[in-house]
Amino acid sequence: MTDTPEPVWEGKYLKVLKQGTWEYAGRTRGIQAAAIIAIHQGQLILIDQFRVPLGRRTLELPAGLVGDETEGESVEASAARELEEETGYRAERIEQLGFFHASPGMVSEGFTLVRAHGLTRTGDGGGVEGEGITVHHVLLAEIPAYIEARRAEGMAIDVKLLLFLSSTFLD
């Protein structure tokens, strides 16, 4: 495709672009995201929060935007900050696992998947004011059943949790 993307609309964090016959959304200012795998004492730490675009609570890995508050912030620094804000756990070390795209036919946004190592509990989590985050601790062996139970309750499930529906990742 040789067309140059044409801006259709741009806000503080999002923009809509058109390129040829394609219309898609992206992040402004080159902002990306980090999603965090945090396992503590045999339990995966998950969060849920209300997501306006879905109109319901969503079960997710802890995550956050990279560079939305501090220009030039590293993925590791952002992930560590978001993990502590959202879950109340501080990581000794953040390991990058790769860069991924969740919905490449609709959005240009990608995320870096990271794993947090050496977790220490520092607080209750819950995010910053207004986020309404609930923290969940799920035994690794119970993740598939836990996800299905939350789905049955009407909770949306983030695509990144597909990682944990296969036991091969947990080995």
Contact assessment for residue 97 and residue 125, using Cβ atoms and an 8 Å cutoff:
no
Of all helices (H) and strands (E), which one includes residue 110?
none
Q: What does the block give as tokens for 68?
A: 């939305």
Say if residues 34 and 60 touch (Cβ distance below 8 Å).
no
129 is catalytic: yes
Q: Which two tokens stand for residue 152?
A: 């049955």
Identified catalytic residue from 92, 129, 142, 153:
129
The beta-strand segments (E) located in the chain are: 6-10, 14-19, 22-27, 32-40, 43-51, 56-60, 63-66, 89-90, 93-100, 111-117, 120-121, 134-139, 156-157
Q: How far apart are CA 88 and CA 124, in angstroms?
A: 5
Strand partners, 86: none
Residues taking part in catalysis: 129
